[in-house]
Structure 1
C-alpha cells in the first residue's frame, strides 16, 4: 500500500474543491476558495504547483489550458485526519469514526468502504 501523505490545511482545501468539482484550472479553484481564504491567485497557483511536485495533483493541458486533477481519493485524503481526530480528540479507535461518515452524506458508500479499509491498513 502506498504511504498516505500528511496534508496541510491549504492542501486539503484545494483537494476538497477538486473532489467536489472534478478536474479544474487554478483560476476556477481559486475563485471557489476566495470566500473562505484570503489567498491571492498566485498563492493558490503556488500551492497547486507544489502539490503537483508532491504527487498530490496531476497537471495536464487541454483546450482550456492547464488542468489539475486530484491524485488522492477523498478517503485517502481523509484517513490521516480521521485517525488524528478519532484518537486525539475523541479518544476512540479510528475505525469507530467511520460510522459517523456513514450517517452523513459526506462520503458515498464506496468511499466509506475505502476509508474503513485504509484505516485498517494505515501503519501510521
Structure 2
C-alpha cells in the first residue's frame, strides 16, 4: 500500500466526485464543489492539478481541448490505505484500542452493535 499518493482532505473531495462519476471535466468538478463548498474555481483547479501531479488522477485531452479526469486510485483501495494509516497514527496499530475508544466515546446504537457482531461472526 506504500505506492498510494498522499491525498489531503481537500483533494479527497475532488476524488469523491471522480469516484462517483467515473470521470469528469474540470468544469464539472468545479461546478459540483462550488455548490457544496466555499472554494473558488481557481482553488479547485489547483487541487485537480495537484492530484494529477501526484498520480492520483489522469487527465485525457478531449476534442474540445478540455481535459477529462478519471481516478487512478480506487475508492476501496484508498479507504483501506487511509484506514490502516489512521489506525497506525492514532492507535499505534491497535484495532482493539480503536474499537474500544469508539464504543466508549461515541453513542453506538444496539442496531450498530448487532451489525458489528454479525460482521465479526462472518469473518471468523
TM bracket, shorter-chain basis: 0.5 to 0.7
Which residue is equivalent to 1:73? Answer: 74
Which consecutive residues of structure 1, in runs of 5 or more, have no partner in the other structure? 104-124
TM-score (norm. length: structure 2): 0.64
Q: 2-side partners of 1:2 and 1:85: how far apart?
A: 14
Which residue is equivalent to 1:18? Answer: 18
Which residue is equivalent to 1:29? Answer: 29
User: What is the root-mean-square deviation in Å for CA atoms of aligned residues?
Assistant: 2.7
Q: 1-side partners of 2:29 and 2:56: how far apart?
A: 15
1:24–1:69 Cα contact (<8 Å) kept: yes
Which consecutive residues of structure 2, in runs of 5 or more, have no partner in the other structure? 100-111, 116-124
The alignment status of 1:92 with 2:95, answered yes or no, reads yes
